[in-house]
Amino acid sequence: MQRIRIDRPGGYDRLQLEQAPDLQAAAGQLRIAVTACGVNFADCAVRMGLYESAKRYVGWPITPGFEVAGVIDQLGPGVVGWQCGQRVMAMTRFGGYASQLLCAPEFVRPIPPGWSDDQAAAWPVAFLTAWYGLYHLGQAQPGEAVLIHSAAGGVGQALVQLARARGCRTLGVVSGAHKVEEVQKLGCDLVVDRTAQDWRAAARAFAPEGMAVVLDANGVETLGDSYNLIGPAGRLIVYGFATMLRRGGSGRPDWLKLAWSWLRTPRFNPLELTTTNRSVLAFNLSFLFDRTDVLARALQELEPLVSSGQLKPLRVSMFDLADAAAAHAALEGGRTTGKLVLTVDRGVTNR
């Protein structure tokens, strides 16, 4: 098999493609011959050594990657209900940038009819993150106003679709004119390019009563304003800190910027929260893998929306597995929309 290995934290050069022994499915596991791996901003934080769950659960060296698609090619003892040759997509807590992956069956789902492997590999993290933030924590209700930062990204596009499916009023914020149409096509009620207009003023005009839910993965650059925009009984959902990381360059962390961003990050006063009736909630999906009950409930709610066509596959941009560094550079550069996917050459990687 082939996999991407990171020996120690650093820039794009740390993403090394290597040959490794084939994996063997143990009891209760199935093996996936991977054809595509989803790329997420969290993978970049893993590479830089800034992702807490990577340090806690794996350490160095590490193979990044949280989601894959492919074909089951081996069943371990005790696995029932699955067949070799079945096309599937799966979630994993690291190890996804590889041509083989071992998974427990509860983290595996059949690929929906008509979807490509690339589309399937881009689905699990984005939609489970969006479901947990908007439905589980945010408790979004029909008619409520929802503000979605980074609405052109993978999670952002999933959030727009889930908000529309729930009957919410949606405002999407993007970071470039070329991203506006992409989000408009998803049915977002208003899309604001924050590089060209004041997104805060647009949000106040869109929901004079205050936003019911704001979903923010930016961190320090927008968190304070996001909090100020929610109305009584509003919920701010925090699931990332992307603006703390340097854009471009070698991909190495800018420790001075990180320290300055940490100092500027808003601290929320519980006394104020009680008098304004606002809530601040946060999560990291990689720390929720043991909550298989939550995963089951998420899939129970998401799968009918996929079957009915209310949730569409995300737009994907593809890179070869060997070009993982280029994928990270593109993602960190803020130029992309939808999801990035690494593709695996089946004829080379598994012998």
H or E stretch covering 339:
strand 339-343
Helix axes 220-229, 255-264, angle to 10 degrees: 20
Q: Is 189 helix (H, G, I), strand (E, B) or coil?
A: coil
Distance CA 102, CA 78 (A): 14
Distance CA 89, CA 133 (A): 21
pLDDT at 248: 66
SS3 assignment for 142-168: CCCEEEECCCCEHHHHHHHHHHHHHCC
- What span, in angstroms and rounded, lies between the C-alpha atoms of 320 and 17? 11
The pTM score is 0.94
Bridge partners of residue 341, in order along the sequence: 38, 318
Can you tell me the distance from the alpha carbon of 122 to that of 314, in angstroms, rounded to the nearest whole number? 7
Compute the distance between CA of residue 289 and CA of residue 107 in angstroms, rounded to an integer: 9
Tokens representing 193 are 């390019």
Polymer length in residues for the chain: 351
Q: Which helix (H) or strand (E) holds 201?
A: helix 199-206
Judged by DSSP in three states, 10 sits in: coil
Q: How many beta carbons lie within 10 A of that of residue 114, not counting itself?
A: 7
Contact yes or no for 129/150 (Cβ under 8 A): no
Catalogue all structural domains in the chain, each as residue range(s) with its CATH number.
Answer: 2-123+313-349 (3.90.180.10), 126-287 (3.40.50.720)
Q: What is the mean pLDDT of each run of 10 residues along the chain (351 residues)?
A: 97 96 98 98 95 96 98 97 97 98 97 96 98 98 98 97 98 96 96 96 98 96 97 97 79 89 92 94 95 94 95 96 96 90 69 31
Q: What six digits make up the tokens of 175?
A: 């970071």
Q: How far apart are CA 186 and CA 312, in angstroms?
A: 9
Three-state SS at 295: helix
Burial class (CB in 10 A: 0-12, 13-18, 19+), 168: buried
In this predicted structure, what is the pLDDT of residue 243?
A: 86
What string of DSSP letters covers 231-249?
EEEEEEEE---GGGSPPST
The pLDDT of residue 250 is 76
C-alpha 233: how far from chain center? 26
Report the distance separating Cα 287 and Cα 184, nearest Å. Answer: 33
> What are the residues whose beta carbons fall under 8 Å from the beta carbon of 102, sequence distance 6 or more?
23, 25, 26, 29, 30, 31, 32
Hey, what's the torsion of the CAs at 337, 263, 281, 66, to 10 degrees?
Answer: 40
